Amino acid sequence: MNLKESIIELAHSIGISKIGFTTADDFSYLEKSLRLAVEEGRNSGFEHKNIEERIQPRLSLASAKTIISIAVAYPHKLKQQPQKTAYKRGKFTPNSWGLDYHYVLQDKLDRLARGIEELTADFEYKGMVDTGALVDTAVAQRAGIGFIGKNGLVISKEYGSYMFLGELITNLEIEPDQAVDYGCGDCNRCVEACPTSCLIGDGTMNARRCLSFQTQDKGMMDLEFRKKIKTVIYGCDICQICCPYNRGLDNPLATDIDPELAHPELIPFIELSNGQFKEKFGMVAGSWRGKNILQRNAIIALANANDRSAIPKLLEIIETSQNQIHIATAIWSLGELIREVTPDLVDLLTSLKKPSPAIIEERERFFQKFQHQISHN
């Protein structure tokens, strides 16, 4: 068995779904689109900032010759649904079910690297998961893991687009794999299904318009996006749900999944303290953005779920919260849920002390919406 075959066997033994090999040559073709995305303000801001490092693997490892790309498949359907309770539930998208995929992938990359060290001498490498310099999707495509779809995700026949990606830049000399011979063809479903028209259609996007970005961005969520997130409090996978390659998939578990964390009860989620949030949700991928932003999303989700039982909780947030964004968002959600405006509610909103610009804007929008009722009270 040669080195490549041994590495492939090792990868499968530690739960890596797909493995591919490519040269450590530059990804020069990416430079134009990466710079254009910066110039046009289409980046999320979470990307690696140095474009040279994104396209030149040898800036990360001087001795680089081969990049080993790995994919770990994950499921997009819960095997077990959460219990029915009195509360409406929100949703984390599948990439945030179970243990944070950064830990899952890092563990598999570490085990792969240790195994390769036993197979060959003088092994040098640098591992990357998501937050590294290289563009994971470009590496995976060139290594034959799958193709980059119009939704910007790597898609394989075996696992669709539900794959976590990572890579080892190495000094090994291994024969590279070929890119896959299939793709999107004329299919345009993801581009048409995207509720914010963020997909450009060539595998790139305006990341700032992506609903996944909107659930992670700070401050007030723009009015345009609030109803579009529905009850999702982290992520978006509409462009995956509609993809023909994902139809009928039954991907293996990458990690154990607690359905109560995948679809949390909204009102109890909003009530979590920092300590409770870290204890309960700290090990899921979506937790990196912190409690406050996700709770803002949950406040929006209450309105989108038409949960009128949440009205007392929204009033409590407006009256007692120290978080200006939560107060402003609660005013919007309240405006979506209530049918009648009482004088007490008008008094509550007008008597808010030192309201932020966001609160003032949402309060004015609220008063305008119910202007007819308020003028007749």
Q: Which residues are annotated as catalytic?
A: 130
CA 184 to chain centre: 22
Token pair belonging to 363: 């309060």
Token pair belonging to 208: 């700032």
Token pair belonging to 341: 């405006």
Cite the DSSP H helix spans in 143-290.
Answer: 189-193, 211-214, 223-226, 238-241, 259-262, 266-270, 274-281
In DSSP notation, 47-112 reads: S-S-HHHHH-GGGT-TT--EEEEEEEE--SS-SSPPPP-SS-B-EE-GGGSSS-HHHHHHHHHHHH
The helix (run of H) or strand (run of E) holding residue 170 is strand 163-170
CA 361 to chain centre: 29
Token pair belonging to 24: 């450590």
